[in-house]
């Protein structure tokens, strides 16, 4: 039976990309797939051949409105109050009605959202269709999920809907976090069925070769990536300068619109890369220095590569904590993360084989998780009853 699958996501690369392997799986299996999110996401979604149902503004508008309401920036001051206002307050206020109109016209059989998208759950509740939620990292602490649930409650009630009592609120939790990175007190609500979903580093549909051949000169290759939002030359530039003192070759990402000249760095040991899929960047890499975005963290450890995590904001502090606790890398928090300190952490990562061994252990856990195609089939059976006795 062909189904209509509606994905709902915060309009940001790091929120949509973890959904993409599952969206591709449904497409491969012949289902109709659409994404409801801001129209500014067209450059990322259109090449996939997936229909975009435009709804709501891009993050710059959302951040500005949170600033107007609370006077703080949830990206750099990720308090529970600010995070809840951004995801469950402002974004729902400025997106939900448009998204609901789009969804009513499109008529999905299943809605799949990512954990901090609160538009998809409201749409699913309004239409009376089942909901699956994809978590793209370790579990979110209870003070954050409690704040999110509390803020979104009035948005349900004003539409005559029963508000969720917790987050996630759907029928399934698609959990991409391997056991070795998860918090010890992680538990799924009794009304939610957990399905382990294998995380994958983002790759292009045609899966091109890596950015280069194996490293030359016998030096380790190190990827430095601070994602699409936090790739600030003022932060990354001095770090790259410090890393050139090590006997390594560096590949540094430029974010969405950065240029090599922004970094004022003269070194034949540093190769700059525009935005390309992470899977391509990870080829022949020995270690990664990153801000700790969930997609970068899970994708890197899925390949068994150790990390130095330097969180800059948002949920990156959770990832940094779990990477350090797992033994698969080191974390340097604000106040500790000067360029020389990061270079010293990288040197330790390269010199001590225990970090790579723990990263490989997590990669084995990832390989044992269900593939996107398997999860798509399981969700289809849950919605349609096919294959059930």
Q: Domain limits of the chain?
A: 4-199+369-384, 221-366
Look at residue 1 and tell me whether its pLDDT is greater than 50. Answer: yes
Residue 4 has pLDDT above 50, yes or no: yes
- The mean pLDDT of the chain is 87
pLDDT tens digits for range 130-153:
999 999 888 888 889 999 999 999
Pick 23 or 319 by higher pLDDT: 23
Q: How confident is the model at residue 248 (pLDDT cuts 50, 70, 90)?
A: confident
Return the closest-CA partner of residue 225 out of 175, 272, 163: 272
Give pLDDT, residue 267: 64
Phi–psi pair at 282, nearest 5 degrees: -80, -10
179-196 mean pLDDT: 86
**Of 195, 201, 197, 178, whose CA–CA distance to 364 is shortest?**
178
Q: Is 382 helix (H, G, I), strand (E, B) or coil?
A: helix
Phi/psi for 107 (5° steps) reads 60, 70
Q: What is the mean pLDDT of residues 378-387?
A: 87
Q: pLDDT: is 259 or 4 the higher one?
A: 4
pLDDT the model gives residue 211 = 43
Cβ contact 339:238 at 8 Å: yes
CATH architecture of the domain with range 4-199+369-384: 3-Layer(aba) Sandwich (3.40)
Tell me if the domain spanning 221-366 has CATH number 3.40.50.2000: yes
Rounded to an integer, the average pLDDT of 336-347 is 85
Choose between 33 and 276: higher pLDDT. Answer: 33
- Tell me whether domains 4-199+369-384 and 221-366 share a fold: yes
Per-residue pLDDT, 386: 66
């Amino acid at each position: 039976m062909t189904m209509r699958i509606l994905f709902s996501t915060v309009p940001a690369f790091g929120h949509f990309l973890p959904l993409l392997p599952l969206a591709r799986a449904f497409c491969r299996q012949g289902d109709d797939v659409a994404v409801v999110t801001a129209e500014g996401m067209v450059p990322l979604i259109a090449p996939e051949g997936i229909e975009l149902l435009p709804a709501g503004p891009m993050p710059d508008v959302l951040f500005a409105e949170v600033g107007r309401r609370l006077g703080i920036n949830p990206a750099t001051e990720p308090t529970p109050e600010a995070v809840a206002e951004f995801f469950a307050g402002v974004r729902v206020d400025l997106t939900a009605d448009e998204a609901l109109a789009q969804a009513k016209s499109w008529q999905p059989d299943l809605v799949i959202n990512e954990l901090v998208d609160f538009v998809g759950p409201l749409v699913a509740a309004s239409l009376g269709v089942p909901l699956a939620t994809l978590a793209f990292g370790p579990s979110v602490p209870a003070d954050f999920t409690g704040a999110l649930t509390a803020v979104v409650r009035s948005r349900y009630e004003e539409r005559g809907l029963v508000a969720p009592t917790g987050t996630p609120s759907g029928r399934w939790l698609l959990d991409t976090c391997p056991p070795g990175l998860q918090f010890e007190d992680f538990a799924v609500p009794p009304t939610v069925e957990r399905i382990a979903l294998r995380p994958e580093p983002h790759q292009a549909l045609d899966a091109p070769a890596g950015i280069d051949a194996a490293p030359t000169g016998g030096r380790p290759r190190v990827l430095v990536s601070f994602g699409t939002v936090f790739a600030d030359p003022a932060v990354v530039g001095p770090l790259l300068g410090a890393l050139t003192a090590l006997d390594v070759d560096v590949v540094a990402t430029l974010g969405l619109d950065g240029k090599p000249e922004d970094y004022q760095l003269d070194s034949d040991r540093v190769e700059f890369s525009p935005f390309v899929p992470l899977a391509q960047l990870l080829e022949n890499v020995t270690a990664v220095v990153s801000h700790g975005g969930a997609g970068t963290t899970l994708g890197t450890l899925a390949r068994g590569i150790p990390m130095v995590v330097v969180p800059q904001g948002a949920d990156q502090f959770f990832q940094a904590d779990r990477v350090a606790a797992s033994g698969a890398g080191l974390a340097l928090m604000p106040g500790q993360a000067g360029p020389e300190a990061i270079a010293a952490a990288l040197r330790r990562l390269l010199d001590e084989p225990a970090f790579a061994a723990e990263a490989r252990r997590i990669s084995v856990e990832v390989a044992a998780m269900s593939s996107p195609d398997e999860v798509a089939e399981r969700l289809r059976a849950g919605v349609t009853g096919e294959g059930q006795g």
